[in-house]
Structure 1
Amino acid sequence: MSETPTSQNTAITERSLAHVWHPCTQMSDHAGGADAAIPLIPIRKAEGIWLEDHDGRRYIDAVSSWWTNIFGHRHPHIVSSLKDQLDTLDHVIFAGFTHEPAVQLAERLCKLAPKGLDRCFYVDNGSAAVEAALKMSFHYWRNVGKPQKTRYIALTGGYHGETLGALAVGHTGIYRDTYAPLLLKPIHVASPDCYERAPGTSWEDHTRRMFADMELALEHHAHEVCAVILEPLVQCAGGMRMYHPVYLSLLREACNRHGVHLIADEIAVGFGRTGMMFACEWAGISPDFMCLSKGLTGGTLPLACVLTGDAIYQAFYAEYRAGKAFLHSHSYTGNPLACRAALATLDVFAEQDWIARTRLLGQFLWSSTAPLRSHRYVADVRQQGLILAIELAKSTRNREPFPASDRRGLRAYRHALKSHKDFGVLLRPLGDVIYFMPPYVIEPREVEAMVKIAIEAIDVATHPEK
């Protein structure tokens, strides 16, 4: 009797499981092959909004591959620019040397950014950008004679990355709690998360009321605080929690009044995702530090940066013997290939009004998800730009969550991957929050297909007999 041939997907999955430790994963969830709690899917190629595995099955990338791939996979202009860059310069040490892609990118980013952000410090990834901003703020106060300012204020429910400094100022327990003994002790202030607002209360009114906690923290602790750090408008990894822009306006004024820096972590929400180029623009404010990554290179190569102003920069500018230099560094700082990918991404932005397109797509996405707003097990549907989140709950009347052990979001994820005979949808829920953050190149018909499968997945995941 002949053996059943092993599919290409199965073969590469087995090889991967033999040696690869995947991120943000309990690896035992991948055990069991096709019957695993979380099936491991080997991707062979990608184009636009589509991923394709080794057996030819396609998937809509509804989460832009962890929120990075804003113009779709393998955008021709970005690919062409990378090939061109490879013919001239792949990498060079960035201490004591510079190159055209890094210089041009810094010029263009500073021109695009909110007013006053005219210095660009490159790092390798989003967590590293947060680390650099935290260190810059502390080091600034030390350089100007206020070494007692050593603490940070952050929001509950926030997430800023996995390195120890970034993890410390986050407040999402699943990532943070294990490492608590290793971490800085920031001052955490209640999030203005509008999911928690009282019935009949507007987003703006709830957000204004919640700012009282921040004002109180600043009054009591400004003398020892370097900076407030937050994700503008959307706390992404914490469950796509959203709040009104008035919080940013109030915070900017309060930071100025109390002599505290404002760090805007725009890693996930920058580059058009919220319906503005940068989320801070909704409030018309400029932070003291702005962290950028993810969409910066269109999802092609890792690159991040911290933008800040000349007043910060000048506090480090001195003779070497003064010991004021910022010595933070990474081996791949300012990598020419990554900078060229970012420049190509900005070129694509300049080709048409992508901000207007994301707003129109956001409106279409909202209307397409209308059936979910009366779903028996959907407690909330919320949106900011081209981010839409669906909160599942056991009881929508009192917003009682499903038991975490039910893993309802995971059930929806599995169903969306496999339910349709022609293609699947990659959702990647955050617990029981299903969300969409698709590439900006998605077409309305593809939005409809994506949402239809997601609704089916939610129905299956919340079935009372499951």
Structure 2
Amino acid sequence: MNGSPIWHPFTQHGLREPIPQVANASGAVLHLEDGREIIDAISSWWVTTHGHAHPAIAGAIAEQAARLDQVIFAGWTHQPAEDLAAGLRAIMPDSLTRVFFSDSGSTSVEVALKMALGYWRNRRENRTRIVVMDNGYHGDTIGTMSVGARGAFNRAYEPLLFDVISVPFPEEGAEQETLDALEAACRDGAAAFIAEPLVLGAGGMLMYSAATLAEMRRICAEHGTLFIADEVMTGWGRTGTLLACEQAGVEPDILCLSKGLTGGAMPLAVTMASEPVFEAHYSTDRGEMFFHSSSYTANPVACAAANANLAIWRTEPVMQRIVDLSARQQAWLADTAQHEMVRNARQLGTITAFDVGAAEGYLSDLAPRMLKMFRERGVLLRPLGNTVYTMPPYCIDDEQLSRVYGVIGEVLDEVSN
């Protein structure tokens, strides 16, 4: 065996691509062991909101670790979890009255799916089908792969995946096709519809309108189909509002949050549910309880990090930073869209995306080429196939952002030759 024994995610080790070692990080910059600095233009895969090693979050983690590091959460509780649940209730939609803790975006979605199915089972109604959107991505566990797009991500695991009802992605000008398909599925008694609001992340940063999201929610409500909003990526300001659902005036029946929940510093997730979903599991019959947990549910240290994140939202001008970053992203993208290699330039809030050349899919040979060019020029960008996107932490400064934009321009020029 050569080199490190680590098996990295989404990495084909047979290609022997270099794996840089990060020594430390601060703000929007990663510092490598060899002394190089890398500007983190994708928030270390969409998690870091306020910047790396934010003093308030780091301090809260250290303080909590010295007081209470871990305790069973089945039938026990602790103050950091109580504070976090109350803090979330204060800023999330009023109808989401219950907070269930887990440890990642994937598990928050697994929890949501199980809640939805348990809701119908405990109501003695035979509704078991889940409706999904083409090109969606909700995680890499069996349930989340089942409700995500079928393809390179999960081809090897097809025998394990359950059947779903799929509706088309609402392309601009063809939204009615999506709405009609959703209407038909809900009319037939679908248990739940799960969607990434406004932006489909791993599916290629595909964007659709708030009006379409609102209409999808209306259709689900009309037929009693539970609406699950997967805001694991889109939450915490990425789209320009705290939740993407806000832009459509939508309150889901079940909401999934993770990534920015702790400012990106610790793994933690929550699934928030409406009172009817909770009430369906509330009984004197132990067989109707909600059967889900993990050893680290509501880990106190992670909850302390999340509470520090909420405090930053309360006391610092986070939304103004988001507005300013969104404006800079929009101005840059308008200029970059003129490049001969750029197709379908799009932006929502702090997220920009565009396709380079002709569409080639997730396994495009262009992706590793561009990844290498970005890395060698000191920028962390990880294209989704031939889709280049930026999603920086809100603390990124003008000089750093200009450097990111300059590197993207250089790479576009190089791949066009």
Decide: shared fold, TM above 0.5. Answer: yes
Read off the aligned partner of 1:249 and give its amino acid letter. A
Cα distance change on mapping 1:216 and 1:102 into 2, 3 Å:
same
- Aligned with 1:449 (options 399, 403, 408): 403
Cα distance change on mapping 1:403 and 1:157 into 2, 3 Å:
closer
CA-CA distance at 1:310 after TM superposition: 1.4
CA-CA distance at 1:345 after TM superposition: 0.6
Matched with 2:118 is 139
Cα distance change on mapping 1:406 and 1:214 into 2, 3 Å:
closer
Quick check: 312-321 or 289-298, which moved more? 312-321
Cα distance change on mapping 1:403 and 1:288 into 2, 3 Å:
closer
Matched with 1:121 is 100
Q: Distance in 1 between matches of 2:141 and 2:90?
A: 30
Query: Which portions of structure 1, spanning 4 or more consecutive aligned residues, are displaced by more than 4 angstroms?
Result: 402-406
1:261 matched to 2:226: yes
Q: Distance in 2 between matches of 1:350 and 1:295?
A: 15
Q: Distance in 2 between matches of 1:391 and 1:131?
A: 31
Matched with 1:310 is 275
SS of aligned partner of 2:67? coil
Read off the aligned partner of 2:261 and give its amino acid letter. L
Q: Distance in 1 between matches of 2:176 and 2:321?
A: 30
Percent identical among aligned pairs is 40
Matched with 2:36 is 57
Is the contact made by 1:155 and 1:230 (CA closer than 8 Å) also made in structure 2?
yes
SS of aligned partner of 2:100? strand
Read off the aligned partner of 2:368 and give its amino acid letter. L
Read off the aligned partner of 2:154 and give its amino acid letter. R
Cα distance change on mapping 1:215 and 1:403 into 2, 3 Å:
closer
CA-CA distance at 1:162 after TM superposition: 0.3
1:365 matched to 2:319: no
CA-CA distance at 1:79 after TM superposition: 0.7
Q: Distance in 1 between matches of 2:179 and 2:285?
A: 42
Read off the aligned partner of 2:341 and give its amino acid letter. Y
Q: Distance in 2 between matches of 1:462 and 1:352?
A: 42
Is the contact made by 2:364 and 2:385 (CA closer than 8 Å) also made in structure 1?
no
Equivalences for 1:136-215 in 2 at 5 Å?
Answer: 136-146=115-125, 148-193=126-171, 197=172, 205-208=173-176, 210-215=178-183
Gaps of 5+ in 2: none
Cα distance change on mapping 1:172 and 1:76 into 2, 3 Å:
farther
Matched with 1:4 is none
Matched with 1:97 is 76
CA-CA distance at 1:444 after TM superposition: 2.0
Read off the aligned partner of 1:333 and give its amino acid letter. T
What TM-score do you get using the length of structure 1 for normalisation? 0.87
Gaps of 5+ in 1: 1-13, 32-37, 198-204, 394-399
- State the aligned residue count: 417
Is the contact made by 1:189 and 1:213 (CA closer than 8 Å) also made in structure 2?
yes
Is the contact made by 2:192 and 2:225 (CA closer than 8 Å) also made in structure 1?
yes
Q: Distance in 2 between matches of 1:282 and 1:369?
A: 22
Q: Distance in 1 between matches of 2:335 and 2:376?
A: 22
Equivalences for 1:277-296 in 2 at 5 Å?
Answer: 277-296=242-261
Is the contact made by 1:77 and 1:344 (CA closer than 8 Å) also made in structure 2?
yes
Q: Distance in 2 between matches of 1:454 and 1:305?
A: 35
CA-CA distance at 1:172 after TM superposition: 4.7
Equivalences for 1:316-465 in 2 at 5 Å?
Answer: 316-321=281-286, 323-393=287-357, 400-402=358-360, 407-419=365-377, 424-463=378-417
CA-CA distance at 1:387 after TM superposition: 0.7
Is the contact made by 1:361 and 1:444 (CA closer than 8 Å) also made in structure 2?
no
SS of aligned partner of 1:229? strand
1:276 matched to 2:276: no
1:239 matched to 2:204: yes
CA-CA distance at 1:23 after TM superposition: 0.4
Is the contact made by 1:265 and 1:292 (CA closer than 8 Å) also made in structure 2?
yes
SS of aligned partner of 1:60? strand
Q: Distance in 1 between matches of 2:109 and 2:243?
A: 17
SS of aligned partner of 1:158? coil
Give the structure with higher Rg (CA): 1
Tell me the C-alpha RMSD between the 2 structures: 1.6
Equivalences for 1:68-79 in 2 at 5 Å?
Answer: 68-79=47-58
Matched with 1:26 is 12
Q: Distance in 2 between matches of 1:406 and 1:174?
A: 11
1:67 matched to 2:46: yes
Cα distance change on mapping 1:297 and 1:94 into 2, 3 Å:
same
Read off the aligned partner of 1:150 and give its amino acid letter. T
